[in-house]
């Protein structure tokens, strides 16, 4: 244990080293007292260094003694032999000065410059052990000399008697009121205090015995540390300095720490340089790939010309080229401009499919203009894959970029299948059956006539515009209908059903085979008609007779049973 520690030598030990290596000591009688170079050299050797002074209080005491000695020396030179130091100075000088200054004191006494006595080692040992328990003679009138059991019993008994006296004063009782039960309680408390004192005494005796036994077994572990008088630490019982990192065998030296920090910094710089080089190579490859897709300047001119024009028609092939460019174009201002142009053109393409989205509902009596019907949809968007639905990316606020579109069909059966979470757009259908078996985020219906749509539960809303003769089976957060006529709605909603400029609606509950909703309510009966604000029954819709309620099969879009 002792071999693992490197404790710096005490001031007394360093003074002994300097006695061997230096011609003169640093004291006022030395000719080098005012030599700045000599003083700086001593500072470098950490004789009076502040960090060491702060860590070890005994060094601070030595410096105080040194200051006292200097003051006395100068005062005697100024005032002569008549100068007599005060009693405080002599006591401090005798009691706490280090071994070196004790020797100087002896020299002063021999020379007759300072009359006094030096406290010998036995007296210092007696003073150090005097405050320890059982080393002072027992005195009945001095509680600090009592054993711990007596201290505990006297303390608890005294507190109990004072409490009883205060209780009598508060309740105005005589001192003999219930005196025997109270004395019994005082005796019980004193007994507990006596037992607590015995426990404390046993603990202290055991602790001291263990420490002294350890010191006797391993004195070398304590000889590395000296007290301010230069004695081995094993001769006195004082707190042991903990093991510190700066006193180890150089495992955490400053040089190694600097090397480790330098190595980590070089690793970070090399990694950053490699990442920058890789990014530059990727940018060069991306520019070469952009040149192979199409002429970059020609594509940018086409996009700018289309954005400046008022033409709503957008060629899907142009969007495909923009997608290829954005896939390889590095991030930067140019990439952001192409992304904005791509979003704008996507919004125009979406307008081609579903038209301009109507403003939110308002209590307005102004009739709504009929939106322009879609007569020509690009052929690249009419391709039917598997179930007759093709995916079209869009960036408009009404429909997110992952959407499924069914457009311009007549007399067909369409089955929509997907991963879930997409928006479904149904546009321009006549006499069709559509089975949406995907859990869509939202469903948009426009210009659907004489058709049947059976939907799996929709997470948000169903929007219907310009439809007639439609049978809709849907469960959603809300259902909104504009400018539609003669609809049969088999629905379930969490929120509300809102209609405007509509008539001929028959409402029934949502019933689909193999689909059970985890919520039930009667909101499907509460239709809000913005064209009917009277308290009278609304003539534009009615609830279907319960005998006519039907259950639909989502695979065939046909009724499978009646209620």
Single out the residue in 119, 137, 152 at which a domain terminates. 119
Residues of the chain with confidence (pLDDT) below 50:
1-3, 24-25, 46-56, 59, 93, 96, 98, 115-117, 228, 233-234, 236-252, 292-294, 356-399
Same domain, 332 and 411: no
Q: What pTM did the predictor assign?
A: 0.35
State how many domains the chain has.
3
What domain range is 423 assigned to? 382-562
Angstrom distance (rounded) from CA 216 to CA 222: 10
Q: What is the pLDDT of residue 559?
A: 86
Same domain as 345, residue 268: yes
For residue range 168-226, list pLDDT tens digits in order: 999 999 999 999 999 999 999 999 999 999 999 898 888 878 877 877 787 766 655 55
Place of tokens 């509902």: 361
Residue 134 maps to a domain: no
What pLDDT shows up at residue 54? 45
* Cα dihedral sign, 45-48-50-51: positive
Alpha-carbon span 542 to 540, nearest angstrom:
7
pLDDT of residue 386: 37
Final residue of a structural domain among 354, 369, 402: 354
Q: Are residues 403 and 422 in contact, defined by beta-carbon separation less than 8 angstroms?
A: yes
Same domain assignment for residues 388 and 485: yes
Same domain, yes or no: 343 and 393: no
Statement to judge: residues 271 and 313 lie in one domain: yes
CATH (domain of 545): 2.160.20.70
Q: In what order do the strands lie in the sheet with 471-476?
A: 413-416, 433-436, 452-455, 471-476, 488-493, 505-509, 541-543
161 inside domain: no
Say if residue 549 is in the same domain as residue 473: yes
How far apart (Å, rounded) are the C-alpha atoms in residues 162 and 350? 92
Widest pairwise Cα distance in the chain: 132
**pLDDT tens digits, residue range 84-117?**
555 555 555 455 454 555 566 566 656 655 544 4
Q: Say if residue 430 is in the same domain as residue 524.
A: yes
The Cα-based distances of 60 to 27, 47, 49, 57, 230 in angstroms read 17, 11, 10, 5, 15
- Same structural domain for residues 331 and 409? no
Task: Region of 421 please: left (phi>0), alpha (psi -120 to 50) or beta.
Answer: left
Return the pLDDT at 71: 57
């Amino acid at each position: 244990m002792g071999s693992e520690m490197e404790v710096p030598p005490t001031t007394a030990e360093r003074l002994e080293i300097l006695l061997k290596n230096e011609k003169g000591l640093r004291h006022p009688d030395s000719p080098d007292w005012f030599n700045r170079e000599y003083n700086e050299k001593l500072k470098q050797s950490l004789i009076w260094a502040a960090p060491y002074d702060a860590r070890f209080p005994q060094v601070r005491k030595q410096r105080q003694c040194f200051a006292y000695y200097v003051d006395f020396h100068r005062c005697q030179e100024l005032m002569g032999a008549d100068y007599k130091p005060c009693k405080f100075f002599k006591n401090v000088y005798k009691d706490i000065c280090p071994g070196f200054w004790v020797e100087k004191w002896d020299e002063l006494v021999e020379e007759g410059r300072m009359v006094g006595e030096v406290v010998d080692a036995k007296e210092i040992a007696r003073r150090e052990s005097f405050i320890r328990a059982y080393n002072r003679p027992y005195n009945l009138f001095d509680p600090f000399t009592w054993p711990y059991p007596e201290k505990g019993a006297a303390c608890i008994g005294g507190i109990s008697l004072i409490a009883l006296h205060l209780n009598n004063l508060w309740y105005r009782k005589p001192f003999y009121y219930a005196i025997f039960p109270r004395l019994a309680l005082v005796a019980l408390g004193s007994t507990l205090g006596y037992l607590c004192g015995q426990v404390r005494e046993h603990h202290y005796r055991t602790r001291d015995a263990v420490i002294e036994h350890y010191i006797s077994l391993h004195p070398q572990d304590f000889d590395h540390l000296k007290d301010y008088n230069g004695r081995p630490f094993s001769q006195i019982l004082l707190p042991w300095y903990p093991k510190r990192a700066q006193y180890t065998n150089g495992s955490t030296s400053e040089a190694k720490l600097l090397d480790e920090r330098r190595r980590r910094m070089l690793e970070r710089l090399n990694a950053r340089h490699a990442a920058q080089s890789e990014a530059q190579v990727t940018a060069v490859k991306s520019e070469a790939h952009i040149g192979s897709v199409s002429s970059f300047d020609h594509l940018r001119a086409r996009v700018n010309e289309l954005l400046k024009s008022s033409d709503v028609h957008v060629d899907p092939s142009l969007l495909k080229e923009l997608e290829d460019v954005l896939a390889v174009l590095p991030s930067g201002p140019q990439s952001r401009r192409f992304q904005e142009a791509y979003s704008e053109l996507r919004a125009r393409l979406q307008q081609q499919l579903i038209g301009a989205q109507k403003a939110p509902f308002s209590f307005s009596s102004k009739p709504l203009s009929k939106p322009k019907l879609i007569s020509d949809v690009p052929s690249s968007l009419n391709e039917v894959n598997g179930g007759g639905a093709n995916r079209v990316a869009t960036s408009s606020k009404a429909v997110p970029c992952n959407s499924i579109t069914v457009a311009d069909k007549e007399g067909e059966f369409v089955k929509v299948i997907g991963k879930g979470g997409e928006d479904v757009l149904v546009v321009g259908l006549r006499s069709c059956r559509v089975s949406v078996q995907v859990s869509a985020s939202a469903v948009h219906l426009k210009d659907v006539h004489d058709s049947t749509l059976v939907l799996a539960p929709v997470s948000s809303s169903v929007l219907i515009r310009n439809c007639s003769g439609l049978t809709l089976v849907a469960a959603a957060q809300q259902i909104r209908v504009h400018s539609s006529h003669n609809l049969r709605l088999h629905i379930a909603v969490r929120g509300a059903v809102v209609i405007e400029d509509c008539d001929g609606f028959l409402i029934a509950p949502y019933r689909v085979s193999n689909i059970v909703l985890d919520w039930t309510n009667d909101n499907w009966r509460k239709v809000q008609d913005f064209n009917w604000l009277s308290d009278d029954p609304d003539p534009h819709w009615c609830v279907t007779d319960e005998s006519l309620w039907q259950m639909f099969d989502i695979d065939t879009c046909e009724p499978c049973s009646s209620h």
